[in-house]
A = this chain, B = another copy of it.
């Protein structure tokens, strides 16, 4: 079992500046590196409080690369729909170079209508762009002269620079949330799976079924090739000396995280896309997360070190997770709570749940 930290800034600028946020995020990345954790993951979002402080995870990871020596740097995710494959392949390669081959690249389709609108990308093209751009990026990393043509880009005999450090290329992952089609596609491509369950514990059996689709499809497709599926699960973490204190500290931040997500999902109020079935009702589903529902049980690992060890073991088995990416910055929380929770995790949990 490998463990990392997963970052998605959901700060309200009036409460927490990007300057404070990034100073803290870099400090947490250094702490995770020193503790021997495996990954630091940063997301890509625009314009809104939901992740908008991080329009370029590769830029943040370049700064992390310069301040760390061992930890792997993961995008989680970059959004291919918003990039030309030549630029995306090349920027990622720069971070692979700057980090001495420590980059993992996670890709996602993007899901926020206001991002698509502002960047002038039709939402209904997102799956096709996602698949075609990833394909082109992989070719640019591994082939010497790449020619590609589709509705979104066209180039001839392109040699991507700089070359990636890792052979044949940085490990790749894809995020999937609700569509079985996405889980199958990632499996057929041989990519790792990134899953971020909703905060509602009642949704977890469905997530388990989707992971099963990924695992079955992967094993069928790649039988005998030596390739193995990889499942990385992101979930909020909070560790405190007792279960009660962990809950008291974590729940307000989880609610705030959910509120910021609801505000982002408001963009779906007057939008329907055949490419995003069910997203119109996302706002209502998120609204089912309440203080009470979180106290009754959430898809978040919150408790004393002993409880957290037990929960991680149970959920790992349930979800077939290989990698845990612990969300530690939810709710725009201050450095103090992130740091005390992460230190307790490193000192008293990690030794019991890592390889």
Contact = CB atoms under 8 A, between A and B. Distances in A.
Interface of A: 13, 17-19, 21-22, 26, 46-49, 52-56, 58-60, 62-67, 82, 84, 86-87, 90-91, 93-95, 97-98, 100, 117-120, 153-156, 158-163, 165
A18 B91 contact: no
A26 B98 CA distance: 9
16 contacts: A18-B94, A46-B86, A53-B161, A55-B90, A55-B91, A55-B94, A56-B90, A58-B59, A59-B62, A59-B98, A63-B98, A64-B66, A66-B66, A119-B155, A120-B153, A120-B155
Contacts of A158: 47, 118
Given A67-B66, A90-B46, A155-B117, A165 B19 contact: yes
A22 B98 contact: yes
Contacts of A118: 86, 155-156, 158
Contact of A97 (B22, B47, B48, B155): B22
Contact of A100 (B19, B49, B117, B165): B19
Given A47-B86, A120-B84, A59 B22 contact: no
Contacts of A21: 162
B52 A161 contact: yes
A60 B90 contact: no
A59 B94 contact: yes
B162 A53 contact: yes
Contacts of A46: 86-87, 90, 161
Given A58-B59, A86-B46, A13 B91 contact: no
Question: Which 6 A-B pairs give the minimum distances between C-beta atoms?
Answer: A18-B162, A55-B90, A52-B161, A66-B66, A63-B66, A62-B62
B13 A47 contact: no
A29 to B, nearest CB: 10
Contacts of A53: 94, 161-162
